[in-house]
Structure 1
Amino acid sequence: KTLPVISIIGYTNAGKSTLLNTLTHSRMLVESRLFATLDPASRRLRFPRDIEVIVTDTVGFIRDLPRELMVAFRATLEELEDADLLLHVIDIANPRFEDQIRSVEAIVAELSLAHKPCLKVFNKRDLLDPETVEHLCRRHDAVAISALATADLKPLISRMQAIIATLQEPSRDPGAASPSTEPAADTQAGEAAANTATTTDCG
């Protein structure tokens, strides 16, 4: 069976490659410049509930991309068609982050991908006060992280795991027992996520 694919998208320099590095303990190139990630990189990630996925990084989005670069840009994003979940990484410390959200969402719509499940991830939360971060997360239904801190990824991993599990439910064996929905079990899984998720390179 094909593994679910989680694709990391976002405006350039939002912290996508850094998140992939921390999430999967890999060492991808991380640079603060446009299009530092030119080729998608993929890693396998296993969640605590025995759900295995492939996580991919993509080229950074940019507003008003020159027409001559649009063809090449679109070509690098073709793999997004296979994504089961989009992780939209956003630099919440950027004063224009809401404009960047709109730019990314516009490109996603142009690529006819707006129907795909998308989870907003507010990166660099450590640069803002907690109350502001909490308010923005509620407003945008987002998860706040610092991509450099492994411990910060527990809530994100829990949300990713829950979404993928939900997407897989229609293909479950009707006679199979339903997974536990007790709060204590969910909390335990979320707390253990960052410590028990394992990764391998995709070859």
Structure 2
Amino acid sequence: MCKQCGCVYARVPTVTKERKLVFASPHSFQYSLVFTDRLHLVDFFVCAGYRTMTSGEEEDFYLRYYVGHKGKFGHEFLEFEFRPEGRLRYANNSNYKNDTMIRKEAYVSQAVMKELRRIVEESEIIKEDDNNWPAPDRVGRQELEIVLGKDHISFTTSKIGSMADVQRSKDQDGLRVFYYLVQDLKCFIFSLIGLHFRIKPV
């Protein structure tokens, strides 16, 4: 069991390496760190950043989601990204009651990436477009970018609070697909982050 986060690792002994993290998203990942960590290769995760896929296993799949707004408490947002090699980046910023930004990074296994891809494919979001979706406003902004094989979509719309907002839109069917996919993605990422970083060793 990993002493850092409590997850179970297997098959490969611990290794040590130096790594540099560079975040380049326009919203949140604007920092870089250089440090040396003792790493554990994990069956489900890699506890601090080691590749879980070989180059032959990598597929053309990328996903980034952002939702946020600027208001009384400044720029509050949630953003996460899955890269083809399995790198997961996560940032959650809320200034409510002086909360600090949460930044996490991990590498996920090929099985996790396949499940994420399945969720995206079954949603059929690739068939939609955002031409008739509500434009971002003072309430908030959402961005979804996906590369799936030869398909590449980049959607932008306003923050959606409930299905009532979907039903008032010009493209109810398309926005409904987007709304339900976002809910699935949030459940997925919150489960991953919770399991990886908050689990307590037994």
Q: TM-score range by the shorter chain?
A: under 0.3
Q: Which has the higher contact order (CA 8 A, sep 6+)?
A: 1
Instruction: Name the structure where helix makes up a greater proportion of residues.
Output: 1
The higher radius of gyration belongs to 2
